[in-house]
Amino acid sequence: MPLKMIVLIKQVPDTKNITAKAMNDDGTVNRSALPSIFNPEDLNALEMALTLRDAHGGHITVVCMGPPNAAEQLREALMRGADDVAFLTDRAYAVADTLATAYAITCAIRKIGDADLVFAGRQAIDGDTAQVGPQVAGALGVPQVTYVAEILDVAPDHIRARRLIDGGYEVVDVRLPALLTVVDEANEPRSRVAKRMMHYKRARTAMEVRDVIAQQLDPEKGKPDPELLAQHCAEPLADLERQGLLIPVWGPADIDADIEQCGKKGSPTQVKNINFVTLVAGEHKNVEPTKDGVDALVHELIEDHTLD
Amino acid sequence: MPDRTGGVFVFAEQDGGTIADVSLELLSKGRELADSLGQHLAAILLGHQLDAQPAQLIACGCDVVFVADDPRLAIYTTLPYARVVCDLLEAQKPDVVLFGASASGRDLGPRVASRLRTGLTADCTSLEIGDHTDPVRKTEYKNLLYQIRPAFGGNIIATIVTPNHKPQMATVREGVMRLPEPDPTRTGTVVPVDVALDDEAELVKILERVKAERTVNLKGAKVVVAGGAGVGSSEGFELVRELAHTLGGEVGASRAAVDAGYIARDHQVGQTGTTVRPKLYIAAGISGSVQHRAGMVESSKILAINTDPNAPIFSFAHYGIVGDLFEVIPMMIDTYKHK
């Protein structure tokens, strides 16, 4: 029986590829120098939804909350097979902790309505909290199954899944609607579909269209007369919409979200301060990578009972 | 009966009657925090046919143990546990609630924080009590919980606070805090908690549960030999294993090595892995990020082997070898075998 599914995704900096180029002199990472990628476990979540759609039919909407350039990941989701997408991008959502993030996402899910299953990756590689999935489930008031590695069976009102626990696994039946967080062990995400790539690489948000046309109309400052800009954008936007290539952008008003519960305002946690750990060259003993050097080291460690 | 508002609460995770180490570790930190705040330390214990556990929790520092004993709580499931914990926290109004960052803790903590609409900071490496001034409104707050953890972005340690919401919640990984010394002469109160559920126990059913004995014991190891991205492959880890085995130690890994698939996550050392304090920590091909350092910096002796002389690990290692681990490790094995 066809499943209405929502997949939550996040754009993250590529934390696994922090090269010297991306490092500032003070030891911090220059985030803007890091490539932005689709959060890896969200790819696994999308793959799980795609696999279920292959088997049972249904519809997949991918939802992303992020800065304007995260539109790139929504294009990616469409290229990989999502039926449609919704983009939560607005200053009001920015600097949100997990609770405020979960709030906005939950409002979007409610607006989309009637989902049987919501999927999310277990955690994002920048925050690593694994909190947004369970907090969305909590705000929606639906059961959650975290660390899902496999879907074993699908029935009209429940699904059976295998989830990982510390040192093992459980097989559970969960009543629908439910939210699942998916681990990377679950599957190998399929590649983008070539035909979809050709089509969806042209998908744009209205802002992206306006920015390009504004630049064309006013190459120096990119700030043409607003009416002129609107006139020039009308046809391209209508055209994209006709082709299913206009990425919907939802601000708080579009999803009936209370802005006091979004973004920084809606975040109970705050960063009090950050300290840069300046790692000064410590008093370490340099050991030569030679037989003699290693011999001396091992014997020293045995002498002082570090090694038995 | 202690003062019934405020307090530092620790969720005491149990499985088959055994209380998880991480929960006991949180009790020792919880005791310090409670003493700083002049408040009581309580444990929240859910399960079925519980017997000696409340006494154990009191011996480990609790003034109060809230016990919810019910067949529907025999095995951890999200909704019944969240319901009972939230009802209790709403009634007791603690200042601070701590969870171990185990699979269950990471499933339950955020669900509880969501219902209570409060803040939760994951994987804290340190917890302290201190004051805070709001930078914009200049409001002053006293005795907040400092939730301290390495943050993404290089060598950054962030201090996070939850000034306007209660309880202040945090999760902490196993091994970060110390296990307490149980004192059986300590006294405390056991408070039974009524379990009121609607359909929470009906929505998720566990059909099968398989749990293997832990095969990797990083926390108890006297020697840890850890490999990083520099090991380059899972075959490369054979050499790391051989050295660990030769020295009577355990195999560890950096997150980069685990993410690259060279070795299972059980072996990960660091902020999001296990925290270790062995007599000797050998870091082979590990650059030494702040997140990794958080998990091993208290080792008695640290030996770093890396081809990059500028690797951050050299700045906090006791011994540094700028060299190729594939040459150096065989030499170490050879020397030790012929000692």
Instruction: Provide the CATH number for the domain around residue B228.
Output: 3.40.50.1220
Question: What gap in Å lies between CA A258 and CA B117, rounded to an integer?
Answer: 14
Which pLDDT score, from 0 to 100, does residue B136 have? Answer: 87
Cis amide prior to B309 (ω within 30 degrees): no
Instruction: Say which of A23, A143, A284 has its CB closest to residue B318.
Output: A284
Contact call for A306 and B312, based on CB within 8 A: no
pLDDT in tens, chain A (308 residues): 899 999 999 999 887 666 666 666 655 566 677 889 999 999 999 999 999 999 999 999 999 999 999 999 999 999 999 999 999 999 999 999 999 999 999 999 999 999 999 999 999 988 889 999 999 999 999 999 999 999 999 999 999 999 999 889 999 999 999 999 999 999 999 988 899 999 999 999 999 999 999 999 999 998 999 999 999 999 999 999 999 999 999 999 999 999 999 999 999 999 999 888 765 555 678 999 999 999 999 999 999 889 98
Q: Which runs of consecutive H residues, i.e. helices, occur in chain B?
A: 21-37, 53-59, 78-92, 103-116, 237-246, 255-259, 290-293, 325-337
Least Cα separation, residue A275 to chain B (angstroms): 5
Question: Does A278 map to a domain?
Answer: no
**Both B181 and B234 in a single domain?**
no
Contacts of B331 in chain A (CB under 8 A): 290-291, 294-295
Contact call for B146 and A272, based on CB within 8 A: yes
Query: What parts of chain B have a pLDDT lower than 70?
Result: 1-5, 153-155
Question: Does B2 map to a domain?
Answer: no
Which pLDDT score, from 0 to 100, does residue A166 have? Answer: 87
**Both B20 and B88 in a single domain?**
yes
Contact call for A128 and B339, based on CB within 8 A: no
Contacts of A27 in chain B (CB under 8 A): 154-155, 312
Question: How many domains, chain B?
Answer: 2
Handedness of CA B40, B81, B120, B30 (dihedral sign): positive
Contact call for A284 and B320, based on CB within 8 A: yes
Question: Does B58 map to a domain?
Answer: yes
Owning domain of residue B266: 223-337
**Both B227 and B178 in a single domain?**
no
Least Cα separation, residue A106 to chain B (angstroms): 12
Least Cα separation, residue A206 to chain B (angstroms): 32
Contacts of B151 in chain A (CB under 8 A): 274
Which pLDDT score, from 0 to 100, does residue B156 have? Answer: 81
Question: How many domains, chain A?
Answer: 1
Question: Does B3 map to a domain?
Answer: no
Contacts of A25 in chain B (CB under 8 A): none
Task: Tell me the backbone φ, ψ of residue A64, rounded to 5 degrees.
Answer: -135, 135
Instruction: Say which of A28, A139, A168 has its CB closest to residue B153.
Output: A28
Which pLDDT score, from 0 to 100, does residue B240 have? Answer: 97
In the three-class reduction of DSSP (H, G, I as helix; E, B as strand; rest coil), residue A115 is classed as coil
Question: What gap in Å lies between CA A223 and CA A227, rounded to an integer?
Answer: 11
Least Cα separation, residue A99 to chain B (angstroms): 7
Going by DSSP bridges, is the β-strand pair A84-88/A117-121 parallel, antiparallel, or unpaired?
A: unpaired
Contact call for B122 and A28, based on CB within 8 A: no
Residues B6-64: tens digit of each pLDDT: 999 999 999 999 999 999 999 999 999 999 999 999 999 999 999 999 999 999 999 99
Residues B222-254: tens digit of each pLDDT: 999 999 999 999 999 999 999 999 999 999 999
b/e B116-155 (16+ beta carbons within 10 angstroms → b): bebbbbbbbbbbebeebeeeeeeeeeeebbbbbbbbbbbb
Instruction: Say which of A29, A167, A171 has its CB closest to residue B211.
Output: A167
Question: Does A228 map to a domain?
Answer: no
Question: Does A211 map to a domain?
Answer: no
Contact assessment for residue B161 and residue B96, using Cβ atoms and an 8 Å cutoff: no
Contacts of B78 in chain A (CB under 8 A): 134, 143-144, 146
**Both B50 and B160 in a single domain?**
yes
Q: Give the type of residue at A288.
A: E
Q: How many CB pairs under 8 A join A and B?
A: 241
Owning domain of residue A119: 3-203+244-261
Contact call for B315 and A166, based on CB within 8 A: no
Contact call for A299 and B212, based on CB within 8 A: no
Q: Which of B168, B202, B236 is the last residue of a domain?
A: B202
Q: Which residue has the tokens 């006013």?
A: A218
CA B229 to chain centre: 24
Least Cα separation, residue A53 to chain B (angstroms): 23
Contact call for B204 and A27, based on CB within 8 A: no
For residue A110, what are its two tokens? 């409610």
Least Cα separation, residue B251 to chain A (angstroms): 16
Question: Does B81 map to a domain?
Answer: yes
**Both B249 and B333 in a single domain?**
yes
